[in-house]
A and B are shown apart, each in its own frame.
Chain A
Amino acid sequence: MKPGAFILPLAVFALSLGVTMAIRKPGQQASQESARESPLPTAPTKKHREQSAFDQIKAALRQGDPARAKAILKQLAERDPVAFFDLLESLPGIPDMDGLVAETAARLPWNQPEITELLNRIGLHSWRDIAWESYGSAQIGVRPDEEIMDLISSEANTSLHLAGVRTLMLDAAEKRPEAFMALLNRQGGTGAREEFFEMVVKHHPEMADALFDSIPDANPGANYDRAYVLQARARCLPTAESLMATLAATGTRGAYSGSFSGLFTHQAYDHATPAEKEKIIEAIAAQPALARNTMLSGALLYGDKPVPLAEFSRLTSLYTSFNLQSIALKQWIEKQPGLATSDRNWIGQLPTEKMRARAHELLEAKPTPENR
């Protein structure tokens, strides 16, 4: 090639080099040391405007003085919140920073692409979630709920479910639940309605029916969320009345539902006071046989903890099927690995002869230290 033919390629090289370096992020200026050793021509580099603060902070850490590093960081945060997060991107793990992260994020300008990118570059997950949460919360009452929800759900690269909007939801749950539920219903989708429901019924348990009923048909995720909302309802409002209402909301034969009746009964019973447990048992006893059996299995078979003996006897006496009593008995024994096979006194308290005989059988068959 003729010498003149190199001019254009060289110009293109220099141009693309310059453009590349100019658009690379300022936080990576720490590697300029290595640039000095490079044999290749270096384009002019831009130091971060807070480079000296960054250097001081890192020097403090290398000297074993995290307290001083934190103090400098705090000043940096006050002076230049964006620089603070630029640095944080590459300096994870400094303890007790949650408060400063939250305070500083709240001061960042709302709804700008560079700020979104900045927050999403925070390395430590917990900080990133805290920063987004604080950033969004600063706008509560300032911007419409929908705007805050939209920005955070579409832009925030957070790790925990609903990180960034939790404070907003809690605020709405207390002060404007219907409007916010309507917002969630317009958005459709899964996972948020269930959490919001739980937040609302803490303040307004009387709204449980209305909230569930508000989930419309023809809404993406409706049937999925309905199931989870009802489960939350059973768990958060563990009364006989609420349980029966929950089962009624499930469908015309809600108490018979294989997927839901046992689950909801378990949730309610597990969280109920002794007085409400009593009422739940009465409600179960009033059901037709199959519904009763389904609900009883919910109270007995879910979870790892065995109910106390007297309760166990009472509940199993309500079954109309020995097959189900037998299953409950087997599981109840299995949930008590410490139960000595030689200990038979408790068997006398079981409600029927068949159950007592089965209990003996099960204990005979149980592996003991001797016959293992």
Chain B
Amino acid sequence: MVRLPSPNIFILLASACAGVAVGVALTSSGGKITSEQEPAGKTATITPAPLPDDPETIRLAALAGRPSEARAKIKALLETGSPDSEIATWLAPLLIADPDWLETFILTVPEERRIALVRATVPEMGKLHPDSVWELLKRSPFAVMAAKEADGTPDFKGLELFWRIPETDKTAGVLFDPALGFSDAELARYLRIKGRELTTARRVLEEWAAGRWAGEPPEFIRDAWYRLNKRDPATLAELEKNTPESLRTYFENYRARTSLSMKTNADGLIVSDPSVEDLRRIGPTEVKNMAEGRAMAARPLPLSTLAQLPPEIRGPAIENYFDWLYPFSEKAAAEAISSLDQLNLTPAERQSLLKSAASLTLQEQGDYRSALDLAGQMPDATARAKFEKEAWEDWARQDPADALSHAATLPEGELKRRVEEIVKESTP
């Protein structure tokens, strides 16, 4: 909260805000068509011609501000026990034109159907007019209640339903409105997939700076930062100024990572590798993300560079080092493996790398011999025995003849016996 310098400025600020609020109220219709208000006298003398009984015509009339026929349809459908999916197609245009009507209408629906019906209608509205969905939430307490329903449809709980609705520039204002009371957890769930709009990205960062989602920042914080940085850096700069110091370090990491990527890229290609110091500066999460992106780009971060970072910074990147390298970068993977002995890694890291290389060699190359060689180097004896057993058994099932011939090199014992047993079972 910014400390205001004097009472006079506060009054001016309040006046300005009042002006904006009034202006917004006067010009806001949420993009919906409002019903034309006919003077009371007129409706008494002129009845409009009846509509043809055509669903499309009736729905369009409802959208344009003539609700009676569509409402009658819904009443009839409720009485005959029609499914929500059908009723929703009539309810959607009505609520687009007149979201306030929901509070009255919903009382005419049997109580046990109300939430489900509204949840079925939301995607129908979204198909026609995304803004209207957010407008509905803004105006209808019942809709908000339905949005929070965790036992919703089997596939979409709570705000997940709104994954099916396009996000608009109205979304953030509605979701983060304290009066509507969506919880941190619910919003985090929504933002797992959504958050593409710049207004949302901005609001997400503001809310986080103000203390929402305390602790390690969720993924969407990073996504929001990157989005704003790309599309609206001026707003981001302003926002960063108002972010508490402790949280700003994350932004600094993102920025350092972005600069680093730009430094190492040219014309769509990665042309150089970061230094140890470069990586140290961006923190473990960013190092891990960068490592993954580089592996996916078929130019992995050199393992020798990672190995020079402090263990707490390099750990997550090391764990996933071989992801994306098989099969298209098998040469790079092989080079990394052959360099393991020269690198200053912890036993746990060596174990993790060997395990992952051995598994991928087996899985992606069908090379049991090489996989077992790698397993043989594992420092963790228990893990090694487990891997060897599983690899041999798999080999015996997948290629019994070859497994049997190589089993001749095994010492007499339980493993060899087991392999021979499975080979026998697997011989056609």
Residues of A within 8 A of B (CB): 8-10, 12-21, 24-25, 27-31, 33-35, 38, 40, 42-43, 45, 57-59, 61-64, 66, 69, 89-95, 121, 123-125, 157, 159, 185-188, 216-224, 226-227, 250-254, 256-260, 289-291, 293-294, 319-325, 352, 354-355
Contacts and interface: CB of A to CB of B under 8 A. Distances in A.
Contacts of B58: 64
B15 A13 contact: yes
Given A9-B11, A13-B16, A222-B296, 9 more contacts: A20-B23, A33-B36, A38-B25, A91-B64, A93-B93, A218-B270, A251-B330, A321-B426, A324-B426
Given A13-B15, A322-B427, A90 B129 contact: yes
Contact of B397 (A30, A62, A321): A321
A257 B366 contact: yes
Interface stretch (B45-53, B71-79, B302-310): B45-53
Given A28-B29, A62-B66, A256-B365, A222 B34 contact: no
B402 A289 contact: yes
Nearest to A351: B428
Given A62-B65, A223-B324, A258-B364, A21 B269 contact: no
B299 interface: yes
B127 interface: yes
B28 A31 contact: yes
B376 interface: no
Contacts of A320: 399-401, 428
Contacts of A323: 397-398, 400, 422, 425-426
A28 B135 CA distance: 14
Contact of A28 (B31, B48, B61, B425): B31
Interface in B1-48: 11-12, 14-20, 22-29, 31-34, 36-37, 48
Given A63-B48, A253-B367, A217 B56 contact: no
A355 B51 CA distance: 69
B249 interface: no
A124 B267 CA distance: 37
B61 A61 contact: yes
Nearest to A253: B365
B128 A123 contact: yes
Contacts of B366: 253, 256-258, 290-291, 294
B415 to A, nearest CB: 18
Nearest to B66: A62
B268 interface: yes
B85 interface: no
A12 B363 contact: no
B320 interface: no
A62 B64 contact: yes
Contacts of B56: 66, 93, 95
Contacts of B174: none
A44 to B, nearest CB: 11
A12 B328 contact: no
B59 interface: yes
Nearest to B67: A62
Given A17-B20, A20-B19, A186-B268, A30 B26 contact: no
Contacts of B425: 322-323
A284 B173 CA distance: 59
B233 interface: no
B252 to A, nearest CB: 23
Interface string B254-292: 000000000000011111000000000000000000000
Nearest to B325: A223
Interface residues of B, number: 83
Contacts of A354: 428
A220 B296 contact: yes
B49 A64 contact: yes
Contacts of A43: 23, 26
Contacts of B399: 289-290, 293, 320-321
What 6 pairs between A and B have smallest CB-CB spacing?
Answer: A20-B23, A256-B366, A16-B19, A31-B29, A61-B64, A251-B327
Q: Which of A93, A216, A227 has the most CB of B within 10 A?
A: A93
A297 B271 CA distance: 40
26 contacts: A12-B12, A13-B16, A17-B22, A31-B26, A58-B65, A62-B36, A91-B63, A93-B59, A93-B63, A187-B268, A218-B269, A218-B271, A218-B298, A220-B296, A224-B324, A254-B327, A258-B366, A259-B364, A289-B401, A290-B366, A290-B399, A293-B398, A321-B426, A323-B397, A323-B422, A354-B428
B19 A222 contact: no
Contacts of B49: 63-64
A258 B271 CA distance: 32
Contacts of A125: 127, 130, 166
Nearest to A126: B127
B29 A30 contact: yes
A57 B17 CA distance: 36
Given A43-B23, A62-B66, A221-B297, A16 B15 contact: yes
A352 B426 CA distance: 13
Contacts of A91: 33, 63-64
Interface in B359-418: 362-367, 397-402
Contact of B129 (A124, A223, A257): A124
Contacts of B324: 223-224
A89 B31 contact: yes
Contact of B328 (A8, A29, A38, A222): A222
A66 B366 CA distance: 64
A12 B19 contact: yes
Contacts of B428: 319-322, 325, 352, 354-355
A114 to B, nearest CB: 15
Given A321-B426, A322-B427, A323-B425, A14 B19 contact: yes
Nearest to B58: A64
Interface string B111-144: 0000000000000000111111000000000000
Contact of A19 (B17, B23, B37): B23
A133 to B, nearest CB: 17
Contacts of A227: 328
A64 B51 contact: yes
B134 to A, nearest CB: 12
A61 B299 contact: no
A124 B31 CA distance: 13
A94 B297 contact: no
Given A218-B298, A219-B298, A291-B366, A62 B29 contact: no
Given A33-B36, A62-B66, A224 B296 contact: yes
Contacts of A61: 60-61, 63-64, 66
B398 A324 contact: yes
A25 B170 CA distance: 14
Given A294-B366, A322-B427, A223 B295 contact: yes
B127 A15 contact: no
